[in-house]
Amino acid sequence: MDSKIMDVLQDRVLELGPAPQPSSSPNFKLTRDEDGIAWLLFDREGASTNTLSGAMIEEFGQILTALESERPSGLVLRSAKSSGFIAGADVTEFRGVSDARAVESQLHRGHQIIDRLEALRIPTVAVIHGFCLGGGLEVALACNMRIAVDNARFGFPEVLLGLHPGLGGTARFTHLVNPVEAMTMMLTGKTIDARRAKSLGLVDAVTQERHVRAAVKDAVFGRLRRAKPGAMVSLLNLAPARKLLASRMRREARKTAPQEHYPAPYALIDLWERHGGDRRAMLAAEKASFADLMVTPTAQNLIRVFFLRDEMKKLAGGKNTMRHVHVIGAGAMGGDIAAWCANQGLRVTLADMKPEPIAGAIKRAADLYSKIIRKKILVRDALDRLMPDLTGEGVRNADLIIEAVPEKLELKQKVYAGLEPVMKPDCILATNTSSIPLQDLRTTLKNPERLVGIHFFNPVSRLQLVEVVSHDMADPQVLAAAMRFVGGIDRLPLPVKSSPGFLVNRALTPYMLEAMVMMDEKIDKTTIDAAAEKFGMPMGPIELADQVGLDICLAVGDMLRSKFGDALPPAPDWLREKVNKGELGRKTGRGFYHWKDGKVQKMPPAVQPTPEMIDRLILPMSNVCVACLREGIVDNADVVDGAMIFGTGYAPFRGGPLNYARTRGPENVSNALATLASKYGDRFKPDAGWMTFR
């Protein structure tokens, strides 16, 4: 229980006689103060965060029964957890659900209890600190008033699980604030802070913790000026406005979430368009809509991804002890790695041969911080932690050195030769190589046991995965420290054994090279990209190659082909010509596409892709993932799926390349690969791992 919150509560709370039986619940604490106000604390047993399970909602219903008969002067809902109010529903209860009507029945019971909260004939106040998300926000919306502590954040993240709010939030939210703002929050899953919530009318007051007591008294005794829905709320909930706005919302949704892959945004829009004018009807319709979404493959796969993220977080294994990171190479990757580490509170020195790359990296860092850090003083602090280091003095005091120079074996080994005599004895040497086996990199090192791979993905600030690469001479303690470091900078560590391309690049390279082969066959690049996007990839392989850099794609492709031979198609000569001409993609403004202000300029495809095109691009990824499992590069199929989703953006609603193979059927996938191999060559030959994959 958060000590500050409890100190304040202990100052104000006075027990009056024997508490009703529900107050002894392990998940709730019910007390009264000297003003006769009941304070109900959510405090889920054995958890650091409050989440709403079915059992917890039932307990809440029992407490409401007692309060209905006791009639205190007011009711205050609070959380005893330092993390926040309520972080949403207990998602573990969503897994494997297949009966929509059973879900609807359970929701009906939840609605009854939340409706009783709303119907209490006493003032009800939600006092919110920290995160108030999903079902937690729906509980708060059923109160008469909401008071936010200044660190509160609000949101409806259900869309990220393939769902929309299901405990009355769709109706209560769109009838409390501007429905366009409400729908935007629910359609995107984005969170807002307390000040923004106040400006929208979501909360009635924003205060500091020490002033909560006074704010609650004002609320309960009628002195708080409550936020009330304006005329615009009623106007925009009228049928003509809903029809017009719903059409616009669908157009926006289609840009990022095709309906055939992500039905939840469209179900939410339909719900509001049909029933938004009648709050009661919308509350009723919400239950069936939510239940139907819950049993879709999209929702079940996205729920699986939610747990994959948690599983991978736990791989870090403990608290990071690194304090000073020295990054060598201020290019696109090195500079962004340094910026991210500084953003996470670490002292970072950034070295390069020339000052210009360092200056560019600092500018990119400032741009990044301005977008992801809300307070200017915190932006300044992050920039202060990111220090240019032309002379490389940071090496002497660094706990971790990350080498991020170009993918050339001799260059990397030359850098190591200069580092090793100067490094602290307990300093870890990490390489950000995307493809070179560590067995090759370590050959010139005096202490190869402290070399480890820490491989980030581009863009560093958005892709959560980091491969932690071992080799047979690595010190286990070094590997463990590297895993903790990755977890400590809010990234997901993936332990992999050193092998050409490791996991992600080995799986991604055939996807991108096959696209080049298809271009050689005179298939238009926009059609190739459309094939991948139709499957559900966030962007096609041609656009992705431009994003990564054609020079990097070529180098990785050549290296992997030298190791795997005909298992990969050769890079075409015209790709080498583009690289030689400096047409490297996004970073030079021109590659396969033209780029303007960092955005691709492309036309819709003139010819629609065929199912075979999709298989040619997608199935080799599953094939490589099965091979990596068989070879022991990675030892967990679920983690392989997580790695491909968090490292490449592999269609999350598919649940990962191995989950997709299970859904489609391993034998079906193996047979499809064999058919492609007979037509296009041995690069499609099914891996032996399909014989045992289940």
Residues 518/569, Cβ–Cβ less than 8 Å: no
Cα separation, 207 vs 1, whole angstroms: 21
* Residue located via tokens 């991804």: 305
Q: How far is Cα 80 from Cα 40, in angstroms, rounded to an integer? A: 10
SS3 604: coil
Give CA separation, 160 vs 134, 155, 293, 539, 653, in Å: 11, 12, 12, 19, 10
Residue 26 CA to residue 301 CA, distance in Å, equals 32
Which amino acid, one-letter code, is at 629?
L
Q: Which helix (H) or strand (E) is 131 found in, with range? A: strand 131-133
State the DSSP code for 188.
Answer: H
Q: Where are the beta strands (DSSP E) in 226-334?
A: 324-328
* 627 vs 509: CA distance, rounded Å: 14
- Helix H, strand E, coil C: the string for 352-376 is CCCHHHHHHHHHHHHHHHHHHCCCH
Q: Is 209 a catalytic residue?
A: no
Preceding amide of 123 cis, omega within 30: no
- 553-583 in b/e burial notation, b at 16+ Cβ within 10 A? bbbbbebbbeebeebbbebeeebeebbeeeb
Cα torsion angle, 217, 221, 227, 233, sign:
positive
The answer to whether the beta carbons of residues 658 and 672 sit under 8 Å apart is no
CB 460, CB 432: distance < 8 Å: no
User: Is 138 assigned a catalytic role?
Assistant: yes
Query: Which entry of 34, 68, 158, 209 is annotated as an active-site residue?
Result: 158
Choosing from 138, 181, 403, 543, which is the catalytic residue?
Answer: 138
The catalytic residue positions are: 138, 158
